[in-house]
Copies of this chain bind each other. A is one copy, B any other.
């Protein structure tokens, strides 16, 4: 900036005014300064400005694996909210191999240009219970587990199960098998708990849940197994759409019709791009809203008192044609 000032024959302050579009600059001067900035390839120093006004206009986001469906949609939702607040995202991916602790994630983020910290906890962190957020900076954990000292936000991975189970109950199903994701997944834990509680609330004994890995192939395996071993089942709740899609393929390969013989539901509403004529009954989450909630709690407006809350955003039941009344 000093260079520009010297080259244009004005003071630094004038350059500053021009750079920030402030008034009280002679039009000729402004143009001359702008020309000089162009010429020298002037780039305002983010460091200087940040140091000066103590804000970074960026929010930190720490995830362990960008490619997981949940994380992508998290980035999207937050990116959209951040843009509305004229804010960037500083993204850090934790090594997939190293242990993922909240303290470590916080330590890493704290050294970066962030006005708030968002940590995606898609599997339980070893130090969740004992974790204390850094004072003086907003911290939000994206997870279903509530925390006494940290605001947590997530789509309601428990409630989505209730929505789907109620739908199946209303159709008349009661023998509803469950195909879950890997058991270390937090989403899985809550989706399964919802399934189980829904059954128990109706005094139906849940049959053993099957464990997949979120992929269609694992859903296929599970569906195959169920088709061959469970004659009484009338519906399958797969914990995501991909596995549901695999399960449907398996059922059909086993000679069972969907939904006439077996109803199938999934979660996420993620198939549309990949499958033509998507017929799967599922739950859709409003990930942009989640992103907005996450962002706004991580970077509270000045004056907002950052009370610790636990926000669970309900999903929306999408009824298509993979569900019907059970075979008699």
Contact = CB atoms under 8 A, between A and B. Distances in A.
Interface of A: 41, 43-48, 50-51, 54, 56, 58, 66-67, 69, 72-73, 75-76, 79-80, 82-83, 88-93, 95, 110-114, 134-137, 214-217, 219-220, 242, 245-246, 249-250, 270-278
A276 B220 contact: yes
A185 to B, nearest CB: 15
User: How many identical chains are in the complex?
Assistant: 2
Contact of A274 (B46, B82, B216): B216
Given A45-B51, A50-B50, A58-B112, 7 more contacts: A47-B47, A66-B72, A79-B91, A88-B112, A91-B91, A215-B272, A246-B275
A60 to B, nearest CB: 8
A96 to B, nearest CB: 9
Given A51-B48, A95-B83, A249 B273 contact: no
B88 A137 contact: no
A45 to B, nearest CB: 7
A275 B276 CA distance: 12
Nearest to A245: B274
Given A58-B112, A111-B46, A216 B276 contact: yes
A51 B45 CA distance: 8
Nearest to A89: B91
B91 A245 contact: no
24 contacts: A43-B110, A46-B50, A46-B56, A46-B113, A47-B47, A47-B113, A50-B113, A66-B75, A67-B72, A67-B73, A67-B76, A79-B93, A82-B93, A83-B93, A88-B90, A88-B112, A113-B113, A214-B273, A216-B272, A217-B276, A220-B277, A245-B274, A250-B276, A274-B275
B90 A58 contact: yes
Contacts of A45: 51
Contacts of A111: 43-44, 46
Contacts of A50: 46-47, 50, 113
A47 B56 contact: yes
A41 B107 CA distance: 11
Nearest to A61: B91
A76 B64 CA distance: 11
Q: Considering residues A47, A75, A135, A242, which has the most beta carbons from chain B within 10 angstroms of its beta carbon?
A: A47
A118 to B, nearest CB: 12
Given A58-B112, A90-B89, A249 B274 contact: no
Shortest 3 CB-CB contacts between residues of A and residues of B: A220-B276, A47-B50, A47-B51
Nearest to A72: B72
